[in-house]
């Protein structure tokens, strides 16, 4: 295969992906929003956001002063271990995997695939889009909010102060509230808990642990972390409900709870993978 042919295939793949992306957006816009009962409060984005905001404000007075004693406290091997844990709050792994999967689903040609397999590719694409938008979107909102608010980080404050702001500074030293890592940890934890509800408790616990590392590393006050986790969880829940109302990725049961849509026979990811391998062998 020469360079010209490779370039042509790449160009065709990009055009196909863009076309499918536009078609998917039109499909969502045309879908009728299904009315639902109000589910449990813990799945309500507005309720979670309100409770989290109150908790963050309370933490400014109740928890942040004590956190000042932790500044410079974590060192040596303990600090290296905590630094490894906190790296998961960057969200690189989940964004790369979901982004690559989304692009692949958009670029795949439906030629030679059954209707069930094509439906499975669409389902995978929407799931990947949900993951990517929830994590990246909440992270972007956190970045905008923290730079606009301009709260100083713990190690940037002199004496025993806990609150000093410099709005629109756009410097890392003045970008503490809300914590970006905690936002990504919260969004990632809720995303995975919704997609794998049987493992939701250990998943959510792991997200909290990652968020807390920002306090142990002197990068944030507890209120910053609480606000970040709240933002990530709220954005993810709002997006999940929006998709569920349109019958995409999620659905709502009779009680209004979020549930994953059942996978039709022949449309699972293993069926899609087997069909793609079989097509590649034939071609």
Question: What are 23-65's pLDDT values in tens digits?
Answer: 555 555 445 555 555 557 778 899 999 999 999 999 988 888 8
Model confidence at 223, in pLDDT bands (50, 70, 90)? very high
Q: Which residues are registered as beta bridge partners of 151? A: 165
Residues 6+ apart with CB under 8 A from 88: 185, 188, 210
Rounded-to-integer distance, Cα 121 and Cα 101, Å: 10
Per-residue pLDDT, 182: 95
Rounded-to-integer distance, Cα 149 and Cα 131, Å: 27
| Token couple for 101 | 């999967």
Model confidence at 17, in pLDDT bands (50, 70, 90)? very low
In the predicted structure, residue 162 carries a pLDDT above the cut 90: no
State the DSSP code for 71: T
Q: Judge whether 26 lies within some domain.
A: no
Structural contact between residues 229 and 210, judged by C-beta atoms closer than 8 angstroms: no
Q: Judge whether 236 lies within some domain.
A: yes
What stretch of H or E contains 251? Answer: strand 250-252
Q: Judge whether 25 lies within some domain.
A: no
Rounded-to-integer distance, Cα 270 and Cα 282, Å: 18
| Token couple for 260 | 């994953």
In the predicted structure, residue 224 carries a pLDDT above the cut 90: yes
Per-residue pLDDT, 56: 93
What stretch of H or E contains 252? Answer: strand 250-252
User: Can you give the residue range of the structural domain that contains 122?
Assistant: 38-282
SS3 state at 151: strand
User: Total domain count for the chain?
Assistant: 1
Closest CA to 178 of 208, 215, 220, 207: 220
Model confidence at 153, in pLDDT bands (50, 70, 90)? confident
Residue predicted with more confidence, 157 or 239: 239
Q: Judge whether 218 lies within some domain.
A: yes
- Most trustworthy range by pLDDT among 16-30, 197-211, 268-282: 197-211
What is the arithmetic mean of pLDDT over 167-179? Answer: 84
Residue 264, domain CATH:
1.20.144
What is the arithmetic mean of pLDDT over 209-219? Answer: 88
Rounded-to-integer distance, Cα 221 and Cα 20, Å: 44
Model confidence at 219, in pLDDT bands (50, 70, 90)? confident
Q: Judge whether 148 lies within some domain.
A: yes
SS3 state at 250: strand
- What percentage of the chain reaches a pLDDT higher than 70? 81
Model confidence at 281, in pLDDT bands (50, 70, 90)? confident
Q: Judge whether 97 lies within some domain.
A: yes
In the predicted structure, residue 144 carries a pLDDT above the cut 90: yes
Cis peptide leading into residue 178 (ω within 30°): yes
Rounded-to-integer distance, Cα 159 and Cα 88, Å: 31
Per-residue pLDDT, 15: 46
Q: Judge whether 226 lies within some domain.
A: yes
Per-residue pLDDT, 181: 93
Q: Judge whether 7 lies within some domain.
A: no
């Amino acid at each position: 295969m020469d360079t010209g042919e490779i370039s042509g295939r790449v160009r065709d793949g990009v055009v196909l992906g863009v076309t499918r992306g536009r078609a998917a957006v039109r499909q969502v816009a045309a879908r009728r929003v299904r009315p639902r009962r109000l589910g449990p409060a813990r799945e309500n984005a507005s309720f979670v956001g309100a409770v989290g905001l109150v908790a963050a404000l309370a933490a400014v007075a109740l928890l942040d002063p004590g956190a000042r004693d932790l500044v410079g406290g974590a060192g040596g091997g303990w600090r290296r271990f905590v630094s490894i844990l906190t790296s998961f709050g960057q969200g690189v792994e989940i964004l790369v995997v979901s982004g690559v999967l989304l692009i692949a689903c958009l670029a795949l040609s439906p030629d030679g695939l059954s209707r069930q397999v094509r439906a499975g590719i669409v389902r995978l694409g929407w799931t990947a889009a949900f993951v990517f938008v929830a994590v990246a979107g909440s992270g972007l909102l956190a970045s905008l909010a923290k730079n606009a608010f301009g709260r100083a980080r713990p190690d940037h404050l002199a004496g025993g102060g806990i609150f000093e702001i410099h709005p629109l500074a756009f410097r890392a030293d003045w970008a503490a509230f809300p914590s970006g890592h905690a936002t990504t940890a919260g969004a990632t934890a809720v995303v995975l808990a919704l997609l794998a509800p049987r493992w939701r408790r250990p998943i959510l616990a792991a997200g909290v642990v990652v968020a807390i590392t920002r306090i142990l590393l002197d990068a944030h006050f507890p209120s910053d972390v609480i606000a970040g986790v709240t933002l990530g969880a709220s954005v993810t829940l709002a997006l999940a409900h929006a998709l569920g109302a349109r019958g995409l990725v999620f659905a709502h049961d009779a009680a209004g709870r979020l549930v994953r849509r059942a996978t039709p026979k022949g449309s699972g990811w293993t069926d899609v993978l087997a069909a793609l391998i079989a097509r590649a062998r034939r071609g």
